[in-house]
Every structure is written in structure tokens, then in C-alpha cells.
Structure 1
Amino acid sequence: MKLKVLIVLAGLSLSLLASGSEYLDGFNPQNDIPKYGNDSATCVANLSLYREFYKQWKQSKYTNDAITDATKWWSWVFQNCPRATENIYIDGVKMVKYRIKKAPDPEIKEKLIDTLMLIYDQRINYFPLHYKSKKPQEGAILGRKGVSLYEFKPQEYKQVYDILNRSIELDKENASGPVYVYYFRTLTKMATKGEIDTIAVVEAYDQLSDYIEFNLKKYREAGNDKKLEHYENIRGTIEKNFEPFAQCHDLVRIYNKKFDENPEDVDLLKKIVKMLDKKKCVEEPLYFEATIKLYDLEPSPESAYLIGKMMLNQKRYKEAIPYMEDATKMENTEKVDDALIFLAQAYRAMNNFPMARKKALEAAKLNPDWGKPYAFIGDLYVISANDCGSDDLTKKAPYWAAVDMYKKAKAVDPEMTSEMNELIRRYSPYFPPAEVLFFYNLQEGDSYDVGCWINVKTTVRAAK
């Protein structure tokens, strides 16, 4: 098959080889060529030469002139035996990217970028399957291609979008982090320029968030801190880019129309509730309508949790309780913890302190390393102090029990140490003074039973 090739560096003029710049133009792939081409002996020899010079260049940390000879023989191999080894494309990307950064003028740079794109395309053409897993790798290669194009020609963001969109369609949650970032960046750029509706940005954000959460969970469970940090950074970057489009009125405008058109679409309702909850738009009427509708269509502890939260925000404490009780049946224990604390808060707002404490203790039992339930109980004791006593001793004794809880909170949850120390400092002066202890024939260190609904044993201490 005849090749129409124009090659600077390795093509028509050996004098250009010394200049260290190359590009391929008018290249036609040979889909039916044997592994080592039509001249296998020359292919093997030139392949060996390019690899040897490439290794020398790599060993110099990509600084010496070995790249000139490497690209000469690489170009021949690329054209004449493109099936020989996948390293042709891996090394080619490295060399051509180097040349792009060193290009002496825009015209040569443009040609080199075209060559880089061609290398990615030819890798897909000749090596569509991963050499180890034997699974399709078109999505992954397209991801690298799109990111590279954005790196060198950000003005071509629409083309980048098309490439990365296809990459994500193919790989979904298995796409690389940078693919998500640059894909989303192209979308926000188009939306900012008025070339697409912001609804596309919102929907892409929702989709990418699911993919990123999948990877965060995977690497968290695997204990891979490096990968976990990587995807946390990816999430942070996308969140930052989404911020201008995450205003509640924009989200409501987008989702109101969808809700009106398909009010019984369970998947849509879940998406609406999730997005508005995540972006703290829970005061919006749409959030209330979608949440209630979701519970009607598909009752679940998860939707009960959302309704309960919503009613708590509206101070409808009595109505919130049965929903939050249902929410404690969720499989996600972290959310069950939250549901129990929300129940405790509802009972506290209704002045039912014993039930509030009971729910807080249930949360503490479920998650022994969480200090918040104990801090919550301490606050209950402080609130009750004046109502739980009739004299200078019994009105002060609840502060002993409160400080006990604050100490317990920081003991099980060291991250709360600073916050709990501040509360201990604030309420310790409310302990009974030494003269009151003397009057009631008590000494520091004695055991004492706090009465009222609190009904706990504590240790006598004097105010300092």
C-alpha cells in the first residue's frame, strides 16, 4: 500500500534530522500489514535502534541529544511496521510532546500536535486491547488524547469535549481523574460562552460526582491513601469549577421543568433531592415536593431520612420523629448515627430530655469513636441545671455531670479536644464553691448522685 508521508526530521531530508524536529502529515494507516511489516529484518533492526537511543535519552532524564537518533528510527518504524510493539506509541507520545514544547515556531508546533493526535489514533487502531487485561482500551487512550489536546491547544475545547465525552461514555467510573477534570472544564467554558445551556453542566456534575465517589470508596476500602488523595483533589477541582453554576435558583430553574414534565420518575426525583441537598438548597419548595413524592413512590429509610431532615429544618419536630425513626433502618451506619442525633435534637426541642439522651446514647453505642453524642448529652445537663435543683448544691451538681460528658467526648474523639476543653473551661466555674460543699458536709473526690431526670453518679469538685 502506498504511503503519502511528509516527515520533518526523518522524512525527506537527513539535514533536518539534526535539527531535532519532526511531524507526520498525510499518513495513511496500513491495517493489513504483518506485525513486523513487509520488511521484517529492517523493522527489527530499526526498532532496536530507536529503542536503544530512546533508552539513552531516558537515562539522561530526557535531556541529551539521543532523542534525535531515536526519533529518526522511531519514525521509520511508526510508518512501516506499526504493529511491532505498543511501545512505539507510548514512546512516541513522550518524544513528540518534548518536541512540541521545544518547537521553534507556531507552524512546526501545529504539525507536531497533529502528529501527537495521530499517534493516539494509531494506537487505538493497532492496539485496541490492553496488553494485560485484554480489555478494550479505546476509552483510556481517548482520555489521554483529549487531555493532551487541551494542554497544547486549549482553544480547541469543543474538539476536546467530543474526545473526552466519548472516553467517559466508554470507561465511565474507570476513566482517569484528569479526564473528568478536563471534560468538565470544557463544559463550563462552553456554558460560560453561552454555547450550551447550564443544564449540561449540572447533569455532567451529577454524573461525574457518582464516578468520583465510586473511586473514593474503592480506594478508601483498599487503604490506598495516595489514590484516595488523588481523587479527593479531583473532586475538589470539579467542585470549584462547578461553584458558579451551583446557585440554588439555577438548580431549581433546571430541575423544576424536569419535575413538572416527569413528576413520577423515581431516578429523576433521586437526582433532584441529592443535588439540592448537596448544595444546601433544602429550603426550596422543589426540595420538599420532590422528597415527599419520592417517599410516596418508593418508601425507603433513605427518603424518610431526607423528609425528617427537612421537617427538622422547618421546626416540625413532632412530625419529623416517625420519619427519622424509619431512617434508623438504613444500611449506611454513618447516616444512622446522624439520624439518631437528629432524633435526639427533635426530642430536645420538645423538652423531652430523657428521650433525647436515650437516642444520643444509641448513636454513641453504634459509633463508639464519635464524641458528638456525649457532647450533646453534656449540653442537655447544662440546659437542665436550674430546673433540676432547689438549692445552691442541687442547682450546681448538673454541671459536674456535664463536664464528665465533655471529658468523655474528647476521650473517645480526640479531634474534639479543643472544643470540649473550651466547654469545660466555660462551665467548671459553675461548680458549687468550697463553702457550699462544706455546708453540705461534702469533700472533693466524694461520690455524688445527681438527681432529677439526669440520675447519674459523679464526683464532687469545687469551683476554682
Structure 2
Amino acid sequence: MNKLATFLLGFLFVAGVAQAQEESTESKDNGLTEQKAADGSVKKGCDARGYCWGENVEEAKSKYTFFSDNMKAKNYSKETLDAFDYLYTNAPYIHKNLYIYGLKLYKSLVSSESKKKDAADKDLIVKYEDMVLKLYDDRGKYFGSADKWESEKGKYLYRYYKDRPDFNDNLPTYYDFYHKIAERDGVKTDDSNMSAYVAIVAKLHVAYKKAVQGFNKDPKTKAQKSAILTANSVIENADGKYTDAQIKEYTAKKTAAEKELVNLEANFEANDPEFKKYKSYNEDWLMDEYDFISEIATKNVEIAEAAKKEKDVKAWSRIQTMADKYIMGMLNIDCDFINNKLGAKFKANPEDLATAKKIVGYSIRKKCMDGPYFLQAAEVVYNAEPTPAYANLISGQYIKKGDTDKAIEWKEKAIELYSEDPAKQAETSIDLAKLYNKKGLKSQARAQAYKAVEYDSNIASEAYTFIGDLYMTSFKQCFESSEDNVQEKGCYLAAYDMYKKAGNSSKMAQAQKQFPTKSDVFTLAAKGYAEGKTINVGCWIGGTTTIRLRP
């Protein structure tokens, strides 16, 4: 090889290395990297500001500038839509702003097209609606917080899908979607999602009722159900009416009928796809759903009331009303249902917490709290989940039954459980003081009232008024047989002192009417009595008070 050729080869090699180094430097200098999206997929062309432009950086930047400028100007033209489609197709991970703008764009398109009413393009509306829902999915996919965006999606899914022809065919799928949201978000569930959930639950039970009509009308099914009812009638009313042999006979008949009913149901399900699809959405399922919905609605109403958010109170009260109307209405629950159907189930298994909760919840709503299983069920719920509210509820039931000792026991439990709420402790202490007074234990009643003030001084007026009342009603117990017309008025003088501490002027006036007269004091002056002098009250009241004259 001659010198010229060697020189040219060397030059080309050095130039190639320099160019490679220059290209490497340029690639490094532009700062573009690859990053992982929230779902683990790769985002390309990512700059330092967090924008990921994909494979064709310059084209994407140009389209995005055009798109974002138009969105800021509220220009929702075909060109704006085309720019979005390009970006969403080629770099769906550009930036979260793509989804903020995209959702605004497609929601606006849904709205504007829907306003055309009779002239609206329904296929186009469906396309736009589906895009809104997909954008919520993809925002979670690429930028995280998928649960949050799924909940946001829920606000639109039912609204968009409820009138579509195939909606009712896919009820179980929509139920799973909204149940997942409600179970996950709990008390933070958006009221629009819960509203959709209530509607879907109701629709599913309607579908269940239609699906089981054929099974229930089948003569073989009727025969087995009739046999079970007859057997239950004998077994449950066995007290001396039937012999052991008869009870044994009907127990065997019931077992056989129940077994045959299971076989009939399995055969029916195998030949009826609708029955198979909806059979699980029965009355027991519906009762569970009602309790689940009501628990969330009730808690939200309480939170909204505490925060004085009237709008939220109305929204969640509406949810409860929907549940009462569309779910409870289908269940047709009344006192007989609670006492007989739920009661029989609870009697068979007294530790069944779910049934106990239903008995308590439905009994309160339907005003059936005098039912035979209510108190026992309430205690089962309390033992599993002790709360002061349940302790108070149970105490109230014992008060109705006239069992003051048990009522006191449960009030004491309530006070203990209110350990982090002094105001409630004080309020419940007054209730307990009244129960002590009912038993004639006035000293304990007074001590409990003083304790209420220790818990929360805001209850002082009520507590001191209560103690004043205790004193006012102690005349017969303490002084009725006394021959000392001044001493016997001590309970009224002491009551006045308490009413004064309470700031209760009307009660003070009542006490004054019972004060000793000027004549009483004058007649017994030899005992050292005089207006303004101190006197021992005596009896259970104890302590001293000041002699004052009746006005």
C-alpha cells in the first residue's frame, strides 16, 4: 500500500471516530432519556421537565404546542382533535397534561354533540364517551394513582352506559366495578359512585327475581318447599304437641326435601343460563348490600353534619333514601320478617354476627325493637364490636324492660368506651345518675352528676340542676316527720344553692317558695335560727346552707 493510500485510510478512521464522538456528545447533551411508566412500560424521549416525546421528538413537540394552545383558547376544532389523536397514538405518556386537556376536550365533545338531541350522532357520542373512560384508565397506567382515576372514571361510567342496549346484559360486570370502588374507598366513596352502585344492585335483584321465576313455579320445586314448611311448622311448635317419633319423622322429611331442592336447583341451573347468571343476587345478598350501602351513607351523613356541609348531608341522605326505596322496598322487610325469618336464622345460630346486625339494623329502621331477638342480637354485635352507641342502645332496652340494674351496668360500659370523648362521658354520666335516682340511690346519683362536671364543665348547669332536683324531692325521705319548721326546709335551701350554681333562675324561684317563713324562724329563734345564719342540712344531703326567708 502506497503512502497516499495509508494516509487516506488513517484520515478516514480519525474522522469517523471524531464523528462518532460528536454524535455521542450530541445525544448525551440533548438530555433525552427513557423512563418507566407507572405500569412498567417504557416512556421514550423524556426531557428534564418530565415530558416524554416518544420516537419523533420534534413532531410531537410541534403537535403538542398546537394542541395545548388550542385547548387554552377553548378551540375544540377537528384540527385540535387530530393533534390530540396523533399525540395519544404515538406518545400517550407525554405528560399528565395530555390527559387533563384530553378529558376536557372529550367531555366537551360529548356535551356539545348530546345537546343536538334528535340530530345527535349517537355513534359519535358513544365514541367520545368511551374515550373519556379510556383516558382515565391510561392516566393511571402511565402516571400512577390508578385507584384514584378509577374512582373518577366511575362518576361517568354509569351515566354513559346506563341507556346503552347491552347495559342490562353486563350488570354483573358493572356491579363488580362499583363494588370494588365502594369497598376500597369506603366512607370516602363519591356519592355519584354510590348512587350508581345502588341502582345496579337494585337492577341485579330484579334480574334475579325474573331468573328464578321458572324455578319457583316448577311443580317439583313447589312440592319440596311445601314439605320443608310443613316440617318446620311441626319442629318449631313441638312443645308437647307432637311425639318424639313425629318430630323425628318430620326432621327426616325436611332433610330429604332440602337435599332434593338442591338437586333440582343444580339441574335447573345447568339448563338455564339466566338462572346461573343471576341466582347469587338473592334476598340474602340484597340484605348484605343494603347494610353495606347504609353503613357508608350513615357515616357520611354524620361527617357532613359535623362539618356543617349541608350539600353533602343532602347528597348522602338521598343515597340512603334510594337504598330504602329501591332495595328495602324489594325486600319488603317488616317486624314479622325480622322476628320470623331472621329470628329463626338467629335462633339456629345465636353467634351469627351478620344476622345479629341485620336484626338490630332493620329493627331500628322499622321500629321493631320490642321483638324477641333484638336485645340478644344487640349484645352479640356489642361483644364482637364494642361501641358506646351499642352500650347505650342496650341500656335503653333494659330500661324499657324495667331492669335498672342491667341498664346501669351498660351505661357504665358506655362511659368507659367514651374515654376519648369527655362531652359524651359527661352526657352519659347524667343518664347514669338518673338511673341511680330511679333506684332510690340519691347519694350515688349526686356523685355521678359531680363526675359529669369533671368530665366536661359545659354540662355543669344540667348537672347542678339535677342535684337541686334531688334535694327538692327529698323532703318526704328526710324531713316529713320533723317538728322543726326551719330544719325541715333545709333540703329546699340546699336545692336553691344548687340551682344558683346552675344559673337556673326559674328553679331558684320554685325553691324559694318552700323556704321557711319569717314566723318559722322567729318561733324557733331559741335554737339560734336567724336569717343569714348557717344551718346543717342533715339526712343524706349533708353539708350546710344559709337560712333564707320565703319571699
Change (3 A) 1:73 1:342: same
Tell me, what secondary structure is at the counterpart of 2:373? helix
Deviation, 1:104, is: 1.0
Q: Is 2:472 the partner of 1:382?
A: yes
Please say if residues 465 and 502 of structure 2, whose CA atoms lie closer than 8 Å, have aligned partners that are also in contact: yes
CA distance in 2, matches of 1:285, 1:264: 16
CA distance in 2, matches of 1:36, 1:166: 34
Deviation, 1:407, is: 5.4
Deviation, 1:274, is: 5.9
1:355 to 444, 447, 452: 444
Change (3 A) 1:293 1:210: closer
Q: Which residue of 2 aligns with 1:114?
A: 126
Please say if residues 206 and 275 of structure 1, whose CA atoms lie closer than 8 Å, have aligned partners that are also in contact: no
Deviation, 1:356, is: 1.8
Structure having the larger proportion of residues in helix: 2
Change (3 A) 1:134 1:363: same
1:311 to 395, 398, 407: 398
CA distance in 2, matches of 1:130, 1:428: 77
CA distance in 1, matches of 2:185, 2:475: 60
Q: Is 2:61 the partner of 1:51?
A: no
Q: Which residue of 1 aligns with 2:238?
A: none
CA distance in 2, matches of 1:151, 1:406: 64
Please say if residues 269 and 294 of structure 1, whose CA atoms lie closer than 8 Å, have aligned partners that are also in contact: yes
Uncovered stretches (5+) of structure 2, i.e. residues with no partner? 1-40, 45-51, 211-280
Q: Which moved more, 1:34-43 or 1:313-322?
A: 34-43
Change (3 A) 1:235 1:373: farther
Q: Is 2:372 the partner of 1:291?
A: no
Please say if residues 143 and 176 of structure 1, whose CA atoms lie closer than 8 Å, have aligned partners that are also in contact: no
Deviation, 1:168, is: 1.7
Q: Which residue of 2 aligns with 1:180?
A: 194
Q: Which moved more, 1:185-194 or 1:264-273?
A: 185-194
CA distance in 1, matches of 2:292, 2:385: 24
Identity of aligned residues (%): 22
Change (3 A) 1:101 1:306: same
1:427 to 510, 514, 518: 510
Please say if residues 492 and 512 of structure 2, whose CA atoms lie closer than 8 Å, have aligned partners that are also in contact: no
Tell me, what secondary structure is at the counterpart of 1:269? helix
Q: Which residue of 2 aligns with 1:344?
A: 433
Deviation, 1:353, is: 1.5
Please say if residues 129 and 136 of structure 1, whose CA atoms lie closer than 8 Å, have aligned partners that are also in contact: no
Please say if residues 401 and 450 of structure 1, whose CA atoms lie closer than 8 Å, have aligned partners that are also in contact: yes
TM-align CA RMSD = 4.8
Please say if residues 139 and 175 of structure 1, whose CA atoms lie closer than 8 Å, have aligned partners that are also in contact: no
Letter in 1 for 2:60: C
Please say if residues 47 and 73 of structure 1, whose CA atoms lie closer than 8 Å, have aligned partners that are also in contact: yes
Change (3 A) 1:395 1:379: same
CA distance in 2, matches of 1:316, 1:444: 46
Q: Is 2:160 the partner of 1:145?
A: no
Please say if residues 381 and 398 of structure 1, whose CA atoms lie closer than 8 Å, have aligned partners that are also in contact: yes
Change (3 A) 1:238 1:122: closer
CA distance in 1, matches of 2:365, 2:494: 37
Change (3 A) 1:122 1:409: farther
Please say if residues 382 and 398 of structure 1, whose CA atoms lie closer than 8 Å, have aligned partners that are also in contact: yes
Letter in 2 for 1:204: E
Q: Which residue of 2 aligns with 1:237?
A: 318
Q: Which residue of 1 aligns with 2:258?
A: none
Q: Which residue of 1 aligns with 2:221?
A: none
Q: Deviations over 1:306-346 (max 9, x none)?
A: 54332122111134334444555436454655654443233
Please say if residues 161 and 167 of structure 2, whose CA atoms lie closer than 8 Å, have aligned partners that are also in contact: yes
Please say if residues 301 and 329 of structure 1, whose CA atoms lie closer than 8 Å, have aligned partners that are also in contact: no
Q: Tell me the TM-score normalized by structure 2.
A: 0.58
Q: Which moved more, 1:90-99 or 1:299-308?
A: 299-308
1:207 to 281, 292, 304: 292
CA distance in 2, matches of 1:135, 1:125: 7
CA distance in 2, matches of 1:93, 1:453: 76
Uncovered stretches (5+) of structure 1, i.e. residues with no partner? 1-30, 58-65, 411-419
Change (3 A) 1:366 1:286: same
Change (3 A) 1:446 1:79: farther
CA distance in 2, matches of 1:51, 1:322: 68
Instruction: Report the count of equivalent residues.
Output: 409
Please say if residues 99 and 139 of structure 2, whose CA atoms lie closer than 8 Å, have aligned partners that are also in contact: no
Query: Radius of gyration: which is bigger?
Result: 2
CA distance in 1, matches of 2:121, 2:492: 74
Please say if residues 301 and 316 of structure 2, whose CA atoms lie closer than 8 Å, have aligned partners that are also in contact: no
Change (3 A) 1:53 1:110: same
Q: Which residue of 2 aligns with 1:13?
A: none
Letter in 2 for 1:207: F
Within 5 Å, give how 1:159-308 maps onto structure 2: 163-184=177-198, 186-187=200-201, 202-208=287-293, 210-211=295-296, 225=307, 232-244=313-325, 245=328, 249=335, 255-256=342-343, 258-260=345-347, 262-266=349-353, 268-269=355-356, 272-273=359-360, 276=363, 281-293=368-380, 307-308=394-395
